[in-house]
A and B are shown apart, each in its own frame.
Chain A
Amino acid sequence: MPCTGRVDIIHLLNAFEDGADGVYVAGCLEGECHFSTGNIKARKKVAYVKKVLEAIGIEPQRVAMYNLSSAQGQRFAEIAKEMVDTITAIGPTPVKDSKAA
């Protein structure tokens, strides 16, 4: 994706529907979006998905938004680890997909 602004609610939900334990969106730093507000839009969509998960009874921490610049490789690794730790602590998704591969 060229920009997190392209991320839609349905993309995030599809991931959970297919059995993802967690999903995070890594966007540019706020105020530094090349398309001006793509990352802000993504943040709102992540917040929406958190509400959907909550309503269903799934931990909202399974979806998260992070902001970093493309030069922050180290930070990217940290975030990935942070997300993995969060999900590991919560455990696997309760979404059981019998049809999924």
Chain B
Amino acid sequence: MIVADSKPLQEILAMVREYKKILIVGCKGCVTVCNVGGAKEVEVLRASLMIDGKKEGSPPDIDTMVIERQCDNEYVETLRDNIDAYDAVLSMACGVGPQFLSEAYPEQKFFPAVNTSFYGGAVAHGIWEERCAGCGTCIIHYFDGLCPVARCAKSLLHGPCGGSADGICEVSKETVCIWDTIVKKKIAQGRIEDLFVLQEPRDWRTARDGGPRRSIRETLAE
């Protein structure tokens, strides 16, 4: 899933304070699962903006709604009837959401309420970690299903670097050295030879470096 974090409230206030009629749109997709842009969070943001507005003596009018997925035009379309009634729209979806909204409604102003962080999952209640870099050419079969592109701070394909100590990355005590994990797993399975292969330089064209990407399912696309 896509994991996001709330933007600092002050940053959001700076974006929308000048607007009188605001719509906050949540998303029932990833941001609901990672508790940052679902129904609950939409209400918290609404209340926060209202408290601020009342303190400043000019409370805005705020409506809220939560749609199935902001990354799907079918659901984005449900905003059409009322979208013109607002001065600004705050999207609490990942970075994809405000863009689908913005493209669907060229006359409206859209603002992001979250910082979209990474593709990952929950490792414990309330804690999410990155697992995938979305580089477009998966090579984790070389590394027992573990991804050094996403999880090594230097994206090394031949780690671990000299900064690996006690299984922890030099960059942060919170970060596992994924190369330490890979090596130990290979050793435990008696397959250390797998790591003697010199990996070719990667073709980053399938990653963001090749320009914005597009995915086509020929059986579905018209």
Contact = CB atoms under 8 A, between A and B. Distances in A.
Interface residues of B, number: 16
Contacts, number: 49
A12 to B, nearest CB: 9
Nearest to A51: B9
A10 B44 contact: yes
Interface string B33-73: 00000001001100110111011010100000000000000
Interface in A77-98: 94-98
Interface residues of A, number: 20
A14 interface: yes
Contacts of B79: none
Please classify the interface of chain A as helix (H, G, I), strand (E, B), loop, or mixed, using the class held by over half of its residues: helix
Interface string A57-75: 1100000000000000000
Contact of B9 (A10, A14, A56, A98): A56
Nearest to B12: A55
Contact of B52 (A9, A19, A56, A98): A56
Contacts of A51: 9
